Structure 1
């Protein structure tokens, strides 16, 4: 029997023994294991050599300061953008996204001494020159991303040595050569993105060799449909759209009976024609189908809607025709969320069977030949676009209005008539409402106050609404565009408009509003476009007590009213938005856009409202408009006195019309400072003196009109004057030098800044600033608003490229 003291002694010995055993084991393990995160000297030296090849590497800041932590005094495995193998200290990953290194990659670069690299990302680094042939020595690479650079020349054949490569992105460069030669050996690829390059237009003839391929993006190719691509059973994602492809002919998905994993297919923006083959129905996992902007034809493809997983479909801008027929697809099509059928030749009525798509949130069937009543079930959608058809009414909708979540409702250019649809006032989430170009009549209801707090666009243009514009804008702080032009409204503008602190465009043209100039609108901080044309406004524009005056205006049209009075010399000095030259702004045309966000698929169709001008008394319509349009139209009023010298401060001004008033004295010499001016109309006034010679030096000034004044002296000899029509100088008895101008027909040569470029080529047009400004408004501001509504969930442009788990379905505006 063991006594207690002996027991304690024994236990202590056991504990001490176990402690030393554990400690000894720890040291053995430490000695046996390599140092974690200690990189090899040759790897560190190679990285530093690579860094020193780019003198600006230390000058990057913020999120792109990838190399600032690289120095000899620290472990390279702890450096930013560097990942090492924990066991051997070899550099296996280099991630320099957006580093802006701004140089060429050299064949003897330190980069190619990192022989253990598995992942290499140099995307958005502003690299130029050719891809070095020594890239092929990095034989362990499985991931290579050189996208968003300025690389040129052919892809080196040595890239075929990278046989372990599973991800390759060379998109958005200027690479050339044959893709079939460059990538033929990379048969283990899972993802391949070669969009937006200059490769020869023949796609790899036999894509089936990439038997592991899951995702493919191809650009700048043309020819027949690549059928072999769709025989790859692992294929999940194919994007042959939006990247300057020009495939032609019929599409054929082959005869493979293997199960398909394909869930994303874009063939947009090609020249495919003929019907969609029913064999597309074999892609039972297909969720996203984008076939817009082709020449597909034939009847409505009912079989598409038997694909059970289909969520997002666009067939827009094709040549489909006939009635829309979904057939009896229940319950297979219950997944459908978004459907775009715009810009085809569908006719008849929307079938009631559309009600089977219980998850449908977005429908765009604009620009077809549809008619009749709109099924009431569609009022439960979040976005409904029915414009440019012949719809005349709505079916029963009482059961769906209580749950309505409508955000976008576009009914413009149809055959609707009768009173304002009061059920619209139940859409408490409505952001965009367009009822323009219909035959609605009666008063605008007060119930609009229920939805103006969420509205950003309200367009009631060109209807038969009468009475006053109701006082419904008390809480309309988000309203950006209000267009009630071409109705029969009267009275005064409601003072609650002052609460519209986001207002960018206000158009009340062509009504019977009668009051003095609403100078209180000048306190709106973002008002860019103000159209009061063709009403019964009266009195002066200038008031002595006003210290600020519409500093953000880019377009103002007060023509065809009863305004009167004169202007002080400094009148235009506060018009700051027009004093800036927009030299960096390209001509922008708003186009059809589709955007994916975290909550689903959205479509927006920014306004492409035509711009109406009057040319020699004939209404002329332009289909496209410029974003940087600036205009002043004070014509057909009763203004008098001198034209203010401060007009010369508005160097961004493109169109100026002061005709049909009683301005006197000389034409201001300061007009020659308007270097962006394209058209000038001073006709039908009482101006005297000579025409300023320096106006002929304005290179963009293509149209001038000085007729019906009291001008005298010679017509300047400048080229711009000699191009004008004889009628531009008529009825100035003391003006001479007309012989050369009136002896022959002068047609102004087209110039880059002229508005003719926005319409049909070689078409002689003279700008009427009035109508131009009216149409400019919806085009620019509504486009911006809808972009704001739907882009709020859009990822950053670089991140969109790399987050391949989300589809990149963005169609850029044409430039």
Structure 2
């Protein structure tokens, strides 16, 4: 409607139901509408431009439903909210309410749903909320609440969902509350709760969804919980072990388990057969991957990164593939080769084996992973020739083979598979040789993101629906974010997230020879180009100036010669430029980004001159202090020095001869003179 709410609505004395949600309303809400004597349902939610406040009045209200979700209502909840004694549904998330939550809310004993999330409430959680014995769902998350969780909330025997996350709550985990018989969804994450998990917790409840991540929970993670548990997130705590019986986890219905970033030691636990997502990275686990993992036919995400796990891949790992989407084993101590018939790979999208001790040739069975988007095998001991057959993968965007023992000539590779969607191509720190393998990138197309404002990252977002025993449904969304290491600006940099827009090529630290081909201009959209530490020779192609998106260009430690092309000044996004230690000559281009580069970008090229080097060029436009002829004659030690008197005599004699002979030559040899000069 894109309009205001007219005050005349407050005159409709028989009005019982007013629904204006999702209407684009703005302006101030007429507060007298709340005083209508027969109004039972009021919903103005999801009108972000609608402002207003709850008045402090003394008469009773028949309202049963009040929904102000995602509006710009502000101020405090007045003590007069006790007058809404018939309310069963009160929802005001995403507003601008502040001050403490009033204890008078405890008088609304008919409340079934109370949503106060995403506001600016401060202070403690009122103990009076324990009086709301009819309450089924309580959400006070994303506020600035402090203090402990009141144990009196354990009186809410009808409570099925409890959301208290993203506050500053302290004290021990309220296990008395978690034992409520109807509770099926609990989120207490992002607080300062502490304590230990203990055996027998929540026995007899129907809890399906539990998030206690980002707290200060410590001690052993003892086996606990009901058989109905499907989602458990205990990440970013201080748990140390799995207790006395770490082998088999008892939650037979478990689908999602997140234990990332704890202090867990010991071996990997055996997961329930229905587990689909298992995150346990950033711990101190040891041992190998149990063979029983191969029985997890529903597994979609297996994240074991950043532990001390060792051994080889299970012999039965060929069973993976029908459901597996993400396999992350990076930063461990795995060794051995990848079996030839390693994986089915029908759905795999991300494989990360970086920073291990894997060796041997890559199995061609990887070519079966037609959905593969990321393959990161960096910092291992893989060997053999370049796996050109990976170029047939139609969805591969990231290929990182950095710091292995791959070898052989890439310039002679003849293949029809040209990596059609590649955006990050890193084969640095190997023993590849021959000419630059640009033919592998002949099908290069600069990727375009339709909505750049969203700045999407490379990840897989898993959205799963859980149905509990009571027939309730809930959705959880868990993001796996791809991270990587890449050489940028001469340093090994860690990218915690990688933008979908990021495009990089790194051929550095190999044995490539020959000239940089002009066809390099076809790599449109590339932001990082590293050709350093090779044996490239010849001139720098001016066509590099057509790569207008370049932010970092490293050509150092080669045998390049000639001048730096003036066309490179067109690279207005260039923040890093290094041509040091080559055989370049001539003046350094001036202006634009070149005014920001320091000496070390050009050092090791004796033939270069101009700013920022101290060596000036002979034909430089810069003002220089040249000695006069008189000073040279006085200071020079040359045997061919001439005094100024001799020079004056010479000029005079030449002038006389020219005046006498010149007219004769012009008159007699006019045709010869015109033809010659």
TM-score, reference length from structure 1: 0.68
Match 1:431 to one of 300, 306, 311? 300
> Equivalent residue for 2:255?
382
CA distance, structure 2, for counterparts of residue 647 and residue 728 of structure 1:
22
Pair 330,160 (structure 1): closer, same or farther in 2 beyond 3 Å: closer
**Count of residue pairs brought into register by the alignment:** 605
Say whether the 8 Å CA contact 1:235–1:262 is kept in structure 2: yes
CA distance, structure 1, for counterparts of residue 3 and residue 481 of structure 2:
40
> Equivalent residue for 1:607?
480
What are the within-5 Å matches in structure 2 for residues 333-352 of structure 1? Answer: 334-352=205-223
> Equivalent residue for 2:444?
575
Say whether the 8 Å CA contact 1:373–1:394 is kept in structure 2: no
> Equivalent residue for 1:171?
45
Say whether the 8 Å CA contact 1:697–1:718 is kept in structure 2: no
* CA deviation after TM superposition for structure 1 residue 618, in Å: 6.6
Pair 535,570 (structure 1): closer, same or farther in 2 beyond 3 Å: closer
Say whether the 8 Å CA contact 2:462–2:479 is kept in structure 1: no
* CA deviation after TM superposition for structure 1 residue 338, in Å: 1.7
Report the more deviating stretch, 691-700 or 456-465: 691-700
* CA deviation after TM superposition for structure 1 residue 560, in Å: 0.6
CA distance, structure 1, for counterparts of residue 520 and residue 21 of structure 2:
49
CA distance, structure 1, for counterparts of residue 129 and residue 5 of structure 2:
39
> Equivalent residue for 1:629?
502
Alignment partner of 1:418: what SS? coil
CA distance, structure 1, for counterparts of residue 9 and residue 523 of structure 2:
55
> Equivalent residue for 1:210?
84
Residue 150 of structure 2 is aligned to residue 271 of structure 1: no
Say whether the 8 Å CA contact 2:202–2:226 is kept in structure 1: no
What are the within-5 Å matches in structure 2 for residues 488-499 of structure 1? Answer: 488-499=357-368
Pair 368,301 (structure 1): closer, same or farther in 2 beyond 3 Å: same
Say whether the 8 Å CA contact 2:229–2:251 is kept in structure 1: no
Pair 323,692 (structure 1): closer, same or farther in 2 beyond 3 Å: same
* CA deviation after TM superposition for structure 1 residue 493, in Å: 1.0
Pair 308,249 (structure 1): closer, same or farther in 2 beyond 3 Å: same
Match 1:422 to one of 286, 291, 310? 291
CA distance, structure 2, for counterparts of residue 522 and residue 552 of structure 1:
9
Return the index of the structure with the highest Cα Rg: 2
Alignment partner of 1:419: what SS? coil
CA distance, structure 1, for counterparts of residue 495 and residue 78 of structure 2:
43
Say whether the 8 Å CA contact 1:362–1:383 is kept in structure 2: yes
Pair 676,238 (structure 1): closer, same or farther in 2 beyond 3 Å: farther
> Equivalent residue for 2:344?
475
CA displacement 1:559-588 (0-9 Å, x = unmatched): 111112224887644112x25476724334
Match 1:236 to one of 112, 134, 149? 112
CA distance, structure 2, for counterparts of residue 324 and residue 516 of structure 1:
52
Residue 432 of structure 2 is aligned to residue 558 of structure 1: no
Say whether the 8 Å CA contact 1:510–1:533 is kept in structure 2: yes
Say whether the 8 Å CA contact 1:572–1:649 is kept in structure 2: no
* CA deviation after TM superposition for structure 1 residue 273, in Å: 1.4
> Equivalent residue for 2:100?
224
Q: Which runs of 5+ in 1 are unaligned?
A: 1-126, 744-815
Alignment partner of 2:74: what SS? coil
> Equivalent residue for 1:679?
552
* CA deviation after TM superposition for structure 1 residue 385, in Å: 1.6
Pair 521,255 (structure 1): closer, same or farther in 2 beyond 3 Å: closer
What are the within-5 Å matches in structure 2 for residues 95-244 of structure 1? Answer: 127-134=1-8, 136=10, 142-157=16-31, 159-160=33-34, 164-181=38-55, 187-218=61-92, 219-241=95-117, 243=118
> Equivalent residue for 2:156?
283
* CA deviation after TM superposition for structure 1 residue 275, in Å: 0.6
> Equivalent residue for 2:452?
584
CA distance, structure 2, for counterparts of residue 569 and residue 627 of structure 1:
22
Q: Which runs of 5+ in 2 are unaligned?
A: 468-472, 617-677
Say whether the 8 Å CA contact 2:10–2:33 is kept in structure 1: yes
CA distance, structure 1, for counterparts of residue 333 and residue 290 of structure 2:
14
* CA deviation after TM superposition for structure 1 residue 327, in Å: 6.1
Say whether the 8 Å CA contact 1:580–1:650 is kept in structure 2: no
Residue 265 of structure 2 is aligned to residue 392 of structure 1: yes
Match 2:353 to one of 444, 465, 484? 484
RMSD: 3.3
Pair 629,239 (structure 1): closer, same or farther in 2 beyond 3 Å: farther
TM-score, reference length from structure 2: 0.81
Alignment partner of 2:73: what SS? coil
> Which protein, 1 or 2, shows the higher relative CO under an 8 Å CA cutoff with sep ≥ 6?
1
Alignment partner of 2:405: what SS? coil
> Equivalent residue for 1:314?
187
CA distance, structure 2, for counterparts of residue 147 and residue 624 of structure 1:
37
* CA deviation after TM superposition for structure 1 residue 193, in Å: 2.8
CA displacement 1:301-330 (0-9 Å, x = unmatched): 221123111111121111112322466654
CA distance, structure 2, for counterparts of residue 216 and residue 541 of structure 1:
67
Residue 239 of structure 2 is aligned to residue 373 of structure 1: no
CA displacement 1:129-182 (0-9 Å, x = unmatched): 434445556666544444445433222456447654444333333335432149
Pair 274,157 (structure 1): closer, same or farther in 2 beyond 3 Å: closer
Say whether the 8 Å CA contact 2:449–2:501 is kept in structure 1: no
CA displacement 1:306-358 (0-9 Å, x = unmatched): 31111111211111123224666543xx2111211111111110134x1x422
Alignment partner of 1:486: what SS? coil
Say whether the 8 Å CA contact 1:591–1:605 is kept in structure 2: no
Match 2:312 to one of 415, 437, 443? 443
CA distance, structure 2, for counterparts of residue 128 and residue 563 of structure 1:
64
> Equivalent residue for 1:729?
602
* CA deviation after TM superposition for structure 1 residue 510, in Å: 1.1
CA distance, structure 1, for counterparts of residue 108 and residue 120 of structure 2:
22
Alignment partner of 2:608: what SS? strand
